[in-house]
Amino acid sequence: MGFEPGPDLYDGGPRTRPHVIVNCAMSADGKIALPGRRPAQISSEEDLLRVHQLRAKCDAILVGVGTILADNPKLYVSPTRVKDPPAPLKIVLDASGRTPADAAFLSTPGRSIVATVRRSEELLAGRLGDKADVRAFGDDELVNLHGLLEHLAHQGVRTLLVEGGGTVIWSFFRSGVVDEFQVYVGPLVIGGEDAPSPADGEGFASMGGAVRLEMVSFERLGAGVWIRYRVPHGH
């Protein structure tokens, strides 16, 4: 199976931010984890291969600190799934300063950035030391995504893969900086009103604010379906 992560939207012009791909796996009823935000294995083996191939085509991978605490992901490209794997930049959004010093991603190949806010910068820098580049983007309660994306563009990041969780994905859609949405729909129902979805947060107050998508392709992977959407400009 082969695919491209998406067109280069900058095409020779000035780049102010990377091409942003949101990728996730959800159940047929739209859940990305079990009730109580407990981890759930939704992707098939075929989809896991796709995910690592996609990571290999991206310059950076981003998750929120909630995902770090719940799943402890390595945020790397598996050498068992991709030959001669690259080492994308690993980024964690952590405004609350909760990233532990023994998080798995800090020990896998590639540089790590923990993006935070001013009030948590000193705490994280002291805890993580030289394991990660701790940088503050803004003085508010949440990381300034536009500032982070501008910084990543200056660092040469052309394609950023956002893998979750639901609150982080929502923040990217709310900020209007998503270019592509890829989702694997697994053949199961999880249920639970407090089980997270791909885009949590407060949601849009009206249909006028909803992000409109254009389907690019769909493909059966194992017993599930991989769907790829693009986000038209202007939304």
pTM of the model: 0.92
pLDDT at 15 (0 to 100)? 60
Each residue of 70-100: pLDDT tens digit? 999 999 999 999 999 999 999 999 999 999 9
Contact 218, 211 (CB under 8 A): no
Contact 159, 6 (CB under 8 A): yes
| Amino acid occupying residue 177 | V
pLDDT at 140 (0 to 100)? 87
Give the closest residue to 23 by CA, choosing from 75, 86, 66.
75
CA distances from 223 to 79, 232, 235 (A): 24, 29, 32
Task: Please provide residue 191's backbone torsions phi and psi, each rounded to the nearest 5 degrees.
Answer: 70, 180
Between CA 190 and CA 35 the distance in angstroms is 8
Each residue of 16-47: pLDDT tens digit? 899 999 999 999 999 999 999 899 999 999 99
Each residue of 193-230: pLDDT tens digit? 999 999 998 888 999 999 999 999 999 999 999 999 99
Which residue segments constitute the domains of the chain, with CATH numbers given? 19-189+210-230 (3.40.430.10)
Q: What is the mean pLDDT of residues 153-174?
A: 96
CA distances from 78 to 73, 198, 207, 210 (A): 12, 24, 40, 35
